[in-house]
Chain A
Amino acid sequence: MFAKMALRNLWKYRKRMLVVMIGIVMSVLVMEVIGGMLAGMQTTFFDQILRGSGHVQLHARGWDDRLDAYSIRHLIADPEQLVDEVAALPGVARAEAILGFQAMLVRDGTTIAVEGRGVSPDTSFFDDASTTVVAGSFLSGDRPGLVLSAANARLIGASVGDDVGVFIESARGIPARRTLMVTGLFDSGHVELDGTAVFLRHEAAQTLLGIERSTNEIRIALDDPDHASRFLSEHRELFDRRGVEPTTWRDIHGSLIVFVEISDLLTTVINVFVMIVAASVVTNAILMTVFDRAKTFATLRAIGMKRRRVVSTIVSEGVLLGAIGSAIGLAIGIPVVRYFEAHGLDMGELSQFFGSGQTYYFAFVPGSSATAFGFGVLISVLSALYAGIAVTRVDLRRALEEA
């Protein structure tokens, strides 16, 4: 009968209950959508940075003491052998040798500074570039040359088939000028990649820099990034023997991981803020609804209902309201998150920061939805509990008189 009473009260006071319901729906909706948005940011962020950097990087011993970002004085000898050896290890998805260097491109009196990367034609660490080729090809064909961004090509007035002057510092520290033909243009949409990166085949980069059978980095992708530390400790002997220093993605992106942790904190702060706003709206509305019925509750107490029972009757209404409101909030919020998960949201330059190009993709996380649902119910239950305690604290005689 008490559940029936709760349901009928919800209907009888439906206008007030609607206010409560809207408060709960909105709070759950905001939590779900913001949760999906930030989860999407993190997912995209991790996916992008780990896809580019790999999960483990091997460098020659002493790499940490280098003076420039792409030192070619700290080299790993016989990289092909080490790549094969590492690729055969359990838990390794792929391994590649990458030769990074700094260079300047010169054409028609225009000079731009770039970061060169000697990579395999089928590299998977730079698929933002290799899959967005707009002219020519990515390091394939009989005469693979230089692949640069369409934006940089426009800057120096080059197109596919044109020769470009490349200034580099050789392994012996001697400045040198070479001429390479542009064989491909890419347009990744990522400001940083388009602005600085040029690619050529790994062996071509070795020739350009005058280093034979060496490279300055081996990049490794694991099946599970969370096993990176374990992978290092398990194969420490191999790395020591080959004179290389391994680094995990946590060390490589330390400052960025702090940013992700800050975004977690931001999510919590937003959720707490939403909860406070929603709780104040919901509590006020429930208080009004309950005190409208102070006479009924006083009568129930007068005929023998204990305070605890009165409170639990009011809380049961809160549970119903919270569950219905939260379910509606999720019924709206989940499709919104799912939509932007599939189609993305065009956020322009802002999303560049998260490494997701122009379009920003949400991520649906069931745990986050469950938390939003729980918060919605909790807000309603706590508000109802407060209202229940408040209405039963009123002196019974006075409550009956005022009624």
Chain B
Amino acid sequence: MAMVRLETVHREYPLGTTVVHAVSGVSLAIDTGEFVSIVGPSGCGKTTILNMIGCIDTPTRGAVRFDGTDTRSLSDSAAADLRLKHIGFVFQSFNLVPVLTVRENVELPMMLAHGRPAERRRVSDHLIDAVGLSEFASHKPGELSGGQRQRVAIARALVNGPRLVIADEPTANLDSETGEAVLDVMRRLNREENVTFVFSTHDPDILQYASRIVRLRDGRVEKDNRAPAPETDGALQ
């Protein structure tokens, strides 16, 4: 059974007196361990699909199932629990808590999941090291570069050992070199930890990293290609 399944999903938003059809009849199945890139021009529905997969939004019609559970049936609290335990998020603009240090930001989801202090420290240190930011652990987000912040966001997304990480345009605010480095980190964690990644982008240069490319146009799936991604040993710094 696919971990995530979208069944003829529609999502419409009222906009004044009109209705915007953000997603129109998308069906998709994502299995554990996949490294899926959702691509397409601005406004094609990438973020809407990621939001629905991540239980941040629900479809107007059709169903999004996570491990077979229809996400529309989840209460706000149950959806929060699902996100906390099984889904990690990486946002385009990083969305770190500005008053917390790198380590505290990374530990935060674990704290919400009632992780013990020693365990929190061990896991967060391991992840901060994995994304190459050990020497910045006590820094606040405002003292880091964009690429460093995004790596903190990746570490935060992984701290509770999620089965799925959703990244919405994770490289959009980064220069190409830093963007590649961030994708290298994601790819490596996908291979080593078997974490499923679903990320959106409209940058054709980074598609080489994806093992599967879902191309959207006007809220519909135009192409869904599975292709082996090349081996990468990109620098983490």
Contact = CB atoms under 8 A, between A and B. Distances in A.
Interface of A: 1, 4-5, 8-9, 12, 295-296, 299-309, 396-397, 400-401, 403
Interface string B151-173: 00000110010000000000000
B184 to A, nearest CB: 23
Nearest to A396: B56
Contacts of A303: 83-84, 88-89, 108-109, 112, 156-157
Interface stretch (B23-31, B73-81, B200-208, B217-225): B73-81
Contacts of A403: 93, 95
Nearest to B100: A5
Given A305-B80, A397-B56, A8 B91 contact: no
B139 to A, nearest CB: 14
Nearest to A307: B76
24 contacts: A1-B100, A4-B100, A5-B97, A9-B99, A12-B98, A296-B97, A296-B98, A299-B97, A300-B97, A301-B80, A302-B89, A303-B83, A303-B108, A303-B157, A304-B109, A304-B113, A305-B80, A305-B84, A306-B76, A306-B77, A306-B80, A396-B56, A397-B51, A397-B57
Given A9-B99, A303-B156, A309 B112 contact: yes
B111 interface: yes
Given A1-B104, A1-B111, A400-B91, A304 B80 contact: yes
B contact residues, range: 20 to 34
Given A304-B109, A304-B112, A295 B77 contact: no
Given A1-B107, A8-B99, A300-B97, A305 B112 contact: yes
Contact of A400 (B56, B108, B111, B112): B56
A302 B156 contact: no
Contacts of B91: 299, 302, 400
B83 A302 contact: yes
Contacts of B160: 304
B113 A302 contact: no
Contacts, number: 74
A12 B100 CA distance: 11
Contacts of A301: 80
Given A5-B97, A306-B76, 16 more contacts: A1-B100, A1-B108, A4-B104, A8-B100, A296-B97, A299-B95, A300-B108, A302-B91, A303-B112, A303-B157, A304-B109, A304-B112, A306-B81, A307-B77, A400-B95, A401-B47
Contacts of A12: 98-99
B85 interface: yes
A7 to B, nearest CB: 9
B54 interface: yes
B97 to A, nearest CB: 6
A227 B111 CA distance: 61
B84 A304 contact: yes
Contacts of B93: 403
Contacts of A305: 80, 84, 112
A121 to B, nearest CB: 76
Given A396-B56, A397-B51, A304 B83 contact: yes
Contacts of A401: 47
Nearest to A2: B111
Contacts of A397: 51, 56-57
Contacts of B85: 304
A5 B111 contact: no
B103 to A, nearest CB: 10
Given A1-B104, A1-B108, A295-B95, A302 B76 contact: no
Interface in B49-86: 51, 54, 56-57, 76-77, 80-81, 83-85
A308 to B, nearest CB: 8
Contacts of B54: 302
Contacts of B100: 1, 4-5, 8
A403 B111 CA distance: 24
